[in-house]
Amino acid sequence: MLCIGQCLVQGVVERITTCAVCGRVFRGRNRHQNLQQHMLTHTGERPFACPHCPYTARQKPHIKGHILRLHPETVPGLVPSVP
């Protein structure tokens, strides 16, 4: 089923957004944000940088996890785990 802009599925109009590079289809309320995030896959852009080392990431949660794992001493209020 190929739809552009809107698609009629079982009598309900479904709004969709399609990636112009690979054709992946995004549906739902956050489809534009999801497409924007997906486009980083094609551009290779890594807009989120760790302030403590050269690591960069495509998504903010990846930076947060990186900092918690590799730089826990920089997180205020974090109780260090005992191995």
State the pLDDT confidence band at 15, using cuts at 50, 70 and 90: confident
Tokens matching residue 1: 């089923």
Mean pLDDT of the chain: 85
Is the dihedral angle over the CA atoms 45, 33, 31, 61 positive or is it negative? positive
Q: Which of 64, 1, 67, 3 is nearest to 31 (CA)?
A: 3
Question: pLDDT tens digit string along 22-53?
Answer: 999 998 889 999 999 999 999 999 999 999 99
Q: Which of 39, 21, 42 is nearest to 31 (CA)?
A: 39
Does the pTM surpass 0.75? The reply is no
